[in-house]
Amino acid sequence: METRTWTENGTPVTKEKTVAFSGHRTNRIAKFTADREKLFREVAFDTFAAIESYCIKKGYDTFLSGMCEGFDLIAAEEVLNLKKRYPHIRLKCVVPFKGQAERYTQADKQRYDTILAQADEVVTLQDGYTEGCFLRRNDYLLENSAFLMVYYDAVAIGGTFYTLKRAVEQKKKFANVCYNRR
């Protein structure tokens, strides 16, 4: 059964053509590297290529980012970069609570605000932080997508582990950008 919602201009958005992102935060991604800038350029490049080949070229057109610093912001930026080639694709930011970026670095706050300003849609799930709000956001991402793209280092702890485990239980298709790097 196809789930449909509608954009402001009346274009249908289907769960079956929607990709969600889940991945580690900046410090976990860069845990074992000395050259963080180079690593993050490479992760961004790999993410761009994966979104294009695994998703856009297979008909996916809507992308959900949970907007955490690290992989979520990288993936959202790469969707926005890909919109220059594929103007029909959409970025939907799923913010777990108002004020999510208050503790981000100044640079990540700027990236966050820039992404939100360019997104096709922003959904804020609740007014303030509560325990479990990130897991509820992750559940929302899974409930509203057919494909999951992760940056997961195979360590069985954290929100990305939780999300990928639930996706596998639901027999969702997924791709791991971290494995593509090895």
88-112 pLDDT per residue, tens: 999 999 999 999 999 999 999 999 9
24-71 pLDDT per residue, tens: 999 999 998 999 999 999 999 999 999 999 999 999 999 999 999 999
CA–CA separation, 107 vs 137, rounded Å?
23
Domain count, the chain: 1
> Does 74 reside within a domain?
yes
pLDDT, residue 10, reads 52
Domain of residue 23 covers 12-180
131-158 pLDDT per residue, tens: 999 999 999 999 999 999 999 999 999 9
> Does 152 reside within a domain?
yes
> Does 106 reside within a domain?
yes
> Does 61 reside within a domain?
yes
Q: 174: closest CA among 163, 111, 67, 3? A: 163
Q: 144: closest CA among 30, 33, 14, 31? A: 14
CB atoms under 10 Å from CB of 71, counted, come to 28
For all residues of the chain together, what is the average pLDDT? 93
pLDDT greater than 70 at residue 120:
yes
Of the pLDDT bands very low, low, confident and very high (cuts 50, 70, 90), residue 1 is very low
> Does 104 reside within a domain?
yes
> Does 5 reside within a domain?
no
> Does 112 reside within a domain?
yes
The CATH number linked to 49 is 3.40.50.450
> Does 33 reside within a domain?
yes
Of the pLDDT bands very low, low, confident and very high (cuts 50, 70, 90), residue 13 is confident
pLDDT, residue 181, reads 54
